[in-house]
Amino acid sequence: KYMAENSEYHYYDFVLLDETTEAAFLSNLKKRFSKDLIYTYIGTLLVSVNPYKELDIYNMKQMDLYMGVNFFELPPHIYALADNAYHTMLTEFNNHFILISGESGAGKTEASKKILQYYAVSCPSTTLLNTVRDKMLMSNPVLEAFGNAKTLKNYNSSRFGKYMDIQFDSQFCIALQSFILCSTCLGPLQAFSTWGMFSLTPTVKAMPS
């Protein structure tokens, strides 16, 4: 039903395109973006375009819609990707990972936040677990303060790679690890269109040479 309703002007899945060309790909992406449809599938892959504005698609109502629903039953969404990974893990008893890739300013950090927020809401709740989840979600501003910097394309650009290990068990234990800190981005590197990391630059300047 969803595919039939949307196939008149664009496709929710690039696999459905009649022509597998770059022009057809970009045309479909542009049509969807013009209607604020920033997510599109390529099979089980999710393509996301940064809208650079607030969209009313991240709330409890949307989360409830995607919980336990077939991956292709509803419009493409980051919640669908998160839910699919979670339930596949439960049924297959295997570790799963979500790889988020893109250029600076593409929205990778925000995508990871949405996934964490979805898991924080969709998983079983207790007072102890809520405390753990709150700490998990509140860790993002701390990491950003120590590893983000302003660039020409992105005011709050992550200058490091981040690996998040989320372990699901009876206590919903969570381990968060960040790595690949880009030390070359420290300081006022205008030559690279990059300003210093928000918190690390003053720290480095205060260190003895």
Q: Tell whether 43 is in a known binding site.
A: no
Q: Where are the domains of the chain?
A: 1-122, 137-209
Q: Tell whether 126 is in a known binding site.
A: no
For residue 71, count other CB atoms closer than 10 A to its CB.
Answer: 17
Coil, strand or helix at 165:
strand
Q: Tell whether 80 is in a known binding site.
A: no
Q: Tell whether 104 is in a known binding site.
A: yes
For domain 1-122, the CATH architecture is: 3-Layer(aba) Sandwich (3.40)
Coil, strand or helix at 169:
coil
Q: Tell whether 108 is in a known binding site.
A: yes
Question: Residue 13 carries which DSSP code?
Answer: B
Short-list 173, 154, 29, CA closest to 104 = 154
pLDDT tens figures, 162-206 = 777 777 765 555 555 555 445 555 444 444 444 445 555 555 555
Q: Tell whether 109 is in a known binding site.
A: yes
Return d(Cα 116, Cα 172) in angstroms, integer: 13
Strand bridging mode 148-151 / 45-48: unpaired
Strand bridging mode 160-166 / 174-181: antiparallel
pTM for this predicted structure: 0.76
pLDDT tens figures, 116-142 = 889 888 876 656 556 666 776 677 777
